[in-house]
Amino acid sequence: MNKVLNKLNGFDGVKGSVLTIVMDGVGIAPDNGGNAVASAYTPNLDMLMAKYPTLSLKAHGTAVGLPSDDDMGNSEVGHNALGSGQVFAQGAKLVSQSIESGKLFASETWKKVVSNVKDNGSTLHFLGLFSDGNVHSHIDHLKALIVHAKEEGISTVRVHILLDGRDVGETSALDYVLPFEEFLSDLRNESFDIAIASGGGRMKITMDRYEANWAMVEAGWKTHVLGEGRAFASAEEAINAYRAELGVIDQDLPPFVIAKDGQPVGTVNDGDSVVFFNFRGDRSIEISKAFDDVEFDKFDRVRYPKVVYAGMLEYDGDLHIPSNYLVNPPEITNTLGEYLTDAGVKCYAISETQKYGHVTYFWNGNKSGKFDEELETYVEIPSDIVPFEQRPWMKCAEITDALIEALKSGEYKYLRCNFPNGDMVGHTGSFAATKCSMEALDLQLGRILKVLDEVGGVALITADHGNADEMYELDKKTKMPSKKAKTSHTLNPVPCIFYDNVHNGEYTVKAEGSYGLSNVAATVANLLGYEAPDMWDASMIEVK
């Protein structure tokens, strides 16, 4: 079915290119001493927000398909909304609904997972991010799966925990581990053997994305599957020991194995079932490949157990990763990319490895590949494999180099890019590094604006969620920054700046309203001279 875009009456579109710049993790918040965006020297961004029309966009909660407005936005759902022009029920909400309705436990995959364990008298393993951050996973989903496994007569369960400290407090691991151990103790009896078997920080093992660092996944495989690594009597002991020795936050804690009588308590073996309970796709794909792909060659698995492996969702709808999953992901259709390519518009997308999938896969509705090989160009700048606080400028200059070349070529009518600095460096909790990252980004904005003027282009400069705007936990009473670093996203809105020095008077930016990220796609279509499809959320401009 063709995605037809009708031309606007009275406005043929901008003469040059339309560019969407996503300043990942850059929200709008008070300048209260904890805002690295406001504290940074950013003359270009300051000029843009003072001189050009700027709207604030909702980028969290129900505005991006999450269960409630207490849920922070994230890059996955943010780019889904930016690229589709619509709001779809997203991972956390889908999983919660499926659990509450019982649909998950009636699924063929859950039945396969359970029957495999019961038929073989084997072990059911749960592996995933261990927090209630609700960005990649939620501990309540894990608990529900465990309770149901016991009800269905499974006798042995092992849990492999990836410690967060990124979407939740940076040193909050024991706030989850200790109550969870009590939860397990209440469930445990002579016929139900359950225990934590292994773990480690999410930025050390297992949860790599976009194939940036397969060594992380290999470390996770050795820890969870092979039971290799430093042994402790409990997760609590491991966390306390590593903190005392290394002084690192939760996301950077090294891997650990729980052992009893000198032997790991939960290796993964032939006949077992494994459920990866993360619902978000980007950091779930690589470990899923390691379990699912017989011909896997990214690292030596040493031992490849024959298991039934299932993800919480299908993490890649085109490549069908993994082959088994518990909850169907949102079916995102009628995206901006589909419509533009069907209209013959040449498009360009660029970021570095850390966010490349966001301007391609997530932007296109969780679909790999291109809609049209001839009309679309995707560029990935390889990310450095170093701690982000040590190189906070990341690859923003290299992204800009390639983007400027594409703009000057005159080949592309619509371009989009993502600068990861504010998010990836913001997640480290380092205020100084994040401030530096914003200053590096601002330099690149200045370069881009100059070229846009040269080629007669316009830009929508926005973000997918907040992060760098709130680098310290806020005191609940005073709402002022505390001394505790904040590594998670924020609930703050994000800017949407309309940079246009060419088309004065041909359209107007609407007044501030209840806009979200999903309003960007229709705005882009209008700027290109097309009516927006009816299913998209409204444009933020009005053509005269």
One pLDDT digit (tens) per residue for the chain, 544 residues: 568 999 999 899 999 999 999 999 999 999 999 999 999 999 999 999 999 999 999 999 999 998 788 888 989 899 999 999 999 988 888 999 999 999 999 999 999 999 999 999 999 999 999 999 998 999 999 999 999 999 999 999 999 999 999 999 999 999 999 999 999 999 999 999 999 999 999 999 999 987 889 999 999 999 999 999 999 999 999 999 999 999 999 999 999 999 999 999 999 999 999 999 999 888 999 999 999 999 999 999 999 999 999 999 988 765 789 999 999 878 899 999 999 999 999 999 999 999 999 999 999 999 989 999 999 999 999 999 999 999 999 999 999 999 999 999 999 999 999 999 999 999 999 999 999 999 999 999 999 999 999 999 999 999 999 999 999 988 878 888 888 898 889 999 999 999 999 987 889 999 988 999 999 999 999 999 999 999 999 999 998 7
Asked if the structure places residue 371 within a domain, the reply is yes
The CATH code of the domain that includes 279 is: 3.40.1450.10
Of the residues 296, 327, 358, the one at which a domain ends: 327
8 Å CB contact between 14 and 503 = yes
For residues 132 and 271, membership in a common domain is answered with yes
| Percent of residues in the chain assigned helix, strand, coil, to nearest 5 | 35, 20, 45
Distance CA 222, CA 228 (A): 5
8 Å CB contact between 535 and 11 = no
Asked if the structure places residue 3 within a domain, the reply is no
CA 164, 165, 169: angle at the middle one, nearest 5?
130
For residues 134 and 273, membership in a common domain is answered with yes
CA 438, 439, 440: angle at the middle one, nearest 5?
90
Buried b (16+ CB within 10 A) or exposed e, 59-70: bbbebbbbbeee
For residues 169 and 234, membership in a common domain is answered with yes
Which domain, by its residues, includes 121?
A: 92-327
Of the residues 309, 327, 345, the one at which a domain ends: 327
Nearest C-alpha neighbor of 282 from the set 91, 415, 456, 452:
91
Distance CA 282, CA 299 (A): 19
For residues 222 and 134, membership in a common domain is answered with yes
Distance CA 282, CA 64 (A): 17
383 classed as catalytic:
no
Tokens representing 202?
A: 């999410």
Say how many Å lie between the first and final Cα of the chain, rounded.
32
Residue 82: which residues within 8 A CB-CB, separation 6 or more? 20, 22, 363, 462, 464, 517, 518, 520, 521
For residues 45 and 78, membership in a common domain is answered with yes
Residue 352: which residues within 8 A CB-CB, separation 6 or more? 380, 381, 382, 383, 394, 395, 398, 399, 420
For residues 68 and 201, membership in a common domain is answered with no
Work out the number of other CB atoms within 10 angstroms of the CB of residue 169.
20
For residues 394 and 520, membership in a common domain is answered with yes
Asked if the structure places residue 10 within a domain, the reply is no
Asked if the structure places residue 2 within a domain, the reply is no
For residues 429 and 320, membership in a common domain is answered with no
For residues 379 and 300, membership in a common domain is answered with no
Nearest C-alpha neighbor of 151 from the set 129, 118, 179:
118
Asked if the structure places residue 9 within a domain, the reply is no
Nearest C-alpha neighbor of 82 from the set 519, 535, 538:
519
Asked if the structure places residue 502 within a domain, the reply is yes
Asked if the structure places residue 368 within a domain, the reply is yes
Nearest C-alpha neighbor of 29 from the set 471, 379, 441:
471
For residues 113 and 170, membership in a common domain is answered with yes
Name the phi and psi angles at 408, rounded to 5: -70, -25
CA 231, 232, 235: angle at the middle one, nearest 5?
125
Name the 3-class secondary structure at 137.
coil
For residues 401 and 477, membership in a common domain is answered with yes
Report the Cα 171 to chain-centroid distance in Å.
21
If one counts the domains in the chain, the total is 2
8 Å CB contact between 465 and 74 = yes
pLDDT of residue 317: 65
**Residue given tokens 């007569």 in the structure block:** 153
The CATH code of the domain that includes 442 is: 3.40.720.10
Set 75, 84, 107, 288: catalytic member: 75
For residues 67 and 115, membership in a common domain is answered with no
Work out the number of other CB atoms within 10 angstroms of the CB of residue 223.
27
Report the Cα 407 to chain-centroid distance in Å.
28
pLDDT of residue 284: 94
pLDDT of residue 255: 98
Give the E-state strand segments of 320-479 in sequence order.
325-327, 347-352, 376-381, 414-419, 458-462, 472-474
Beta bridge pairs of residue 232: 258
Q: For the purposes of burial, counting CB atoms within 10 Å of the CB of 260, is it exposed (0-12), middle (13-18) or buried (19 or more)? A: exposed
Alpha carbons within 13 angstroms on the beta-carbon side of residue 335 total: 24
Distance CA 126, CA 278 (A): 10
Asked if the structure places residue 474 within a domain, the reply is yes
User: What HEC string does 513-544 produce?
Assistant: CCCEHHHHHHHHHHHCCECCCCCCCCCCEEEC
Distance CA 276, CA 460 (A): 37
Of the residues 327, 342, 365, the one at which a domain ends: 327
